[in-house]
Amino acid sequence: MLRNRNLVGWLQAAPLATVLLGFLVAPIAMIVIVSFWGATEYSIYPAFQFDNYQFLFSSPVTYTVFFNTLKYAAITWAFTLVIGFTVAYFLAFEIRSLKWQIALFLLCTIPFWTSNIIRMISWIPFLGRNGIANSTLISWGVIDEPLEWLLFSDFSVILAFVHLYTLFMVVPIFNSMMRIDRSLIEAARDCGANGFQTLWNVIVPLCKPGIMIGTIFVTTLVMGDFITVRFMSGSQRANVGRLISNDISLLQYPSAAATAVVLLCTVLIVIAVLLRLVDIRKEL
C-alpha cells in the first residue's frame, strides 16, 4: 500500500519535478560549472580555473555593488513592511464587511497582474525634470528650481521597488491577520491594554509568519533584480544583477556565472536565516 501511494504520488509529481529539474536545477548546475570556465573575447571554453572568482573577489567594485544590493534590499524592506503592515491592518481590522474587505484587497492586488515594465515607465512623467512632482513643488513655492535627484537616482530606484513589491507584504500579512481569533483582541482590551499595547503584544507577534514570508519575497526579489535598477537609475546605479547582465551583454559568460553563483549563495543565506524563523507550509 505504501509502495502504491508513493508510486501514484511520484507519477502526479513527475511533471512538476521534470520542469524544475530541467529549468531550475540543470541551469544552476550549468552556471556553477561555467563559472570555472575561461573566456576569450568571442567564445567560452571548458576549463577548471578559479580566475573568475579570483577576479571577482579582488575587484573593489564587487564589494561596492554587493553593498549597494543589500542596501536596496534593506531600505525597500523597511518601507514595504511599514506600508504593507498598515494597509493589511486597515483591511483586516477596520473594514468590517467581508465583501468590502475582498473588494479593497483586490484593488491592492490587481497591479500585480499587470506589467512591471509599464509600471516603471509610468513614473517618468512624475519624476522627470519637468515632471509633475517638480512643477507642483515649484508652483507651491517649495523649491525654486527642479530637483535633479527625483529621477535616475537611488530615490527613484527605491520608489519603484516599493511601488512594485509592497503587495508581496500586504498579501501574507493580511492572510495572517485574518486568522487571528478576534476574541484574543477583545481579551487584550478587557485586560486593560490600550490600542498600541494590543497591536504590539498581540497582533504583531501573531503576524510574524506573514511578515517573514513577505520579507523573503521582498528581499529576494530586490536582490535578484537588475531591470528596475537599470531603468530607474538611467544606468547610473549598479547592483549585482546589473553586474551579471553587463557581463552577459559582453559575452563574458564565465564571469557572469561566477557572479551569479555568489549572488545565489548570498540569497540562499538570507533565506536560510529567515526560514529558521517560520514554517511556510503551515501558513497557507
Partner 1 sequence: MERRSRSFYLLAGFFGLFVLFLYGPIVTIGILSFQGPQGGLTFPMNGVSLHWFRDLFEEQAVGDIWGSFRRSFALGLMVMVTTVVVSVLAGLAFRKRFAGATVLFYLSIASLVIPSILISLGVGLIFNQLGFRVHWITSGFGSQLTWTLPFGLLIMFAVFNRFDKSYEEAARDQGATPWQTFAHVVLPIIAPSLLGVALFGFTLSYDEFARTLLTAGSYNTLPLEIFGMTTNVTTPVIFALGTLTTLFSLAVIGTFFLTVWLLSRRRKRPSDAGKGMV
Residues 166-225 touching partner 1, rule: CB under 8 A, are 166, 195, 216-217, 220-221, 223-225
Residues 9-28 that bind partner 1 (CB under 8 A): 9-13, 15-17, 19-20, 22-28
Binding marks (x or -) toward partner 1, 261..280, rule CB under 8 A? --xx--x---x--------x
Distance CA 179, CA 255 (A): 47
Which residue of 111, 147, 189, 278 would you call a contact of partner 1, by CB under 8 A?
A: 111
User: What residue has cell string 503592515?
Assistant: 85
Contacts of 66 (CB under 8 A, 6+ apart): 240, 262, 266
Q: Is 45 in the site for partner 1 (CB under 8 A)?
A: no
Strand partners, 44: 39
**For residue 226, which of 148, 161, 135, 133 has the smallest C-alpha distance?**
161
| Span of 7-15, 73-81, 180-188, 204-212 interacting with partner 1 by CB under 8 A | 7-15
Among 94, 145, 181, 190, binds partner 1 (CB under 8 A): 94
Stretch that binds partner 1, among 56-64, 73-81, 180-188, 245-253 (CB under 8 A): 245-253
Shortest distance (Å) from residue 64 CB to partner 1: 19
Report CA torsion sign: 37, 250, 60, 160. Answer: negative
- Shorter beta-carbon distance to partner 1: residue 98 or 284: 284
- Dist CA 37 CA 260 (whole Å): 14
Coil/strand/helix, residue 258:
helix
Return the number of the residue (50 or 90) whose C-beta is nearest partner 1.
Answer: 90
Query: What does the DSSP assignment read for 130-165?
Result: TSHHHHHHHHHTS-SS--SSSSSSHHHHHHHHHHHH
By CB under 8 A, name the one of 62, 101, 245, 246 that touches partner 1: 245
Grid cell 501514484 in the structure block, residue: 8
Nearer to partner 1, 147 or 221 (CB): 221
Q: What is the DSSP letter of 252?
A: -
Binding of partner 1 by 31 (CB under 8 A): yes
- Single out the segment in contact with partner 1 by CB under 8 A; choices: 52-60, 73-81, 129-137, 200-208: 129-137
- x/- binding map, residues 148-167, to partner 1, per CB under 8 A? ---------------x--x-
Give one DSSP letter per residue of 6-25, joined into a string: HHHHHHHHHHHHHHHIIIII
Q: What is the DSSP-derived secondary structure letter of residue 202?
A: I
- Eight-class DSSP state of 97: -
Query: Smaller CB distance to partner 1: residue 5 or 141?
Result: 5
Among 55, 75, 89, 203, the residue binding partner 1 under the rule CB under 8 A is 89
**Interface residues for partner 1 in 67-86 (CB under 8 A)?**
83, 86
If one asks whether residue 113 binds partner 1 (CB under 8 A), the answer comes out as: yes
Q: Are 259 and 240 in contact (CB under 8 A)?
A: yes
- Residue 37 CB, shortest distance to partner 1, in Å, is 10
27 vs 143, which CB is nearer to partner 1? 27
User: E strands along the chain, which residues?
Assistant: 38-39, 44-45
